[in-house]
Structure formats: structure tokens, C-alpha cells
Amino acid sequence: MLIFDSSTLILLAKAELLDVFLDDFEGRPLLPRAVEAESTAAPGRPDGLLIRQRILEGRLVVKETKQPEVLSRLVQDFRLGLGEAEAIVLALDMGDTAVLATDDRNAIRACKVLRIGFVTSLGILVRAVEKGLVTPADGAGFLERLRFYGRFRDDIIAEVERQIGDTAHGKDTEDG
């Protein structure tokens, strides 16, 4: 089960990659109530409007968290925002099947410590190109938008460019 935190959900929406992902995803990704609030807070922003619409359509499902003690501890121990902490609580509730979509450095660190699977917006983009959902050329455009809206190190962007380029030339990105 995929659970979004605010960082990745907003980045995918801003980069115009959210619908590409949702169109291919089997199932309905979850987001905690705090992520809904954070990602739709500014009603005039196109990304917030898109996310709100996908929730109304039932393509994204808002779910309540029920462990306030765990939530509080995650915020404190990992210096997480409320949305990231709620997303991790949902992932912990789901068990081994949970994957957290996050680009937040502290949330990624928490996932590693807590042994929760995770994926980033850049990983989602690479997978979309590998699966042929977008062409490598279109993938480069999505990458530019993710670079513009996100806070990624240059070496990480270069690695994603390489992976997308390898896919364009028929190479398996896993092997390089």
C-alpha cells in the first residue's frame, strides 16, 4: 500500500506527474489528514486544486491516524512535520506492505531506521520512464520540473538523468 507525504504529493502535482502515476497505479494511494491539509491549504494553487480534485474523485484516499503517542514520538525523535509523521504512523499500521512516498530527508531517515519501504518523486519518475508511461524525452521535461520545484542535490539529478538516458538507449537501469 502506498502512502503519500506532503513533499512528494505536492512535487508530483507541481511537476504534472501525479496523473501519470495515478493512471498506472493499481489501487488507491493513502494520505493522512495532515497531508491533505498541507497539500491543499492554498486553495488558489494549481497543485492544491489538482490534489483536492483527485481526493474528491476517490483516486487518493484520506485516512485518519490513531496513534497519538507514536505520532508525538516520531515528530520529536526524527524532527518531522505533522504530515510526514502521520504518513509514517499509517505505514507502521500497514506493516510490511506499506511504502511511503517521500522526498523529506528526515522522513527518509525515519523510514530507514524503522524499516519502512519508501520511494521518492525521482524514483517514481524513473519507474514511469522504465515502464514506458512517458518517453525519455518527456521524462527529461518532468525531471526539469522536479528539479525546479524540489531541493535535490546536483549529483542526484545527474544520476536520474543517467538512468533516464540509459532507458532511452534500451539499457536496464538496474545494471547501468
pLDDT of residue 165: 86
Q: Tell me: the pLDDT tens digits for 91-121?
A: 999 999 999 999 999 999 999 999 999 999 9
pLDDT of residue 171: 45
pLDDT of residue 58: 97
More confident residue, 167 or 89: 89
- The domain locations on the chain are 2-119, 122-168
Pick one of 3.40.50.10140, 1.25.40.10, 3.30.530.20, 3.40.50.1010 as the CATH number of 2-119: 3.40.50.1010
Residue 151 to residue 48: CA distance in whole angstroms: 19
pLDDT of residue 172: 43
Beta partners for residue 118, in sequence order: 100
pLDDT, mean of residues 23-40: 96
Residue 137 to residue 90: CA distance in whole angstroms: 36
pLDDT of residue 81: 94
Beta partners for residue 100, in sequence order: 3, 118
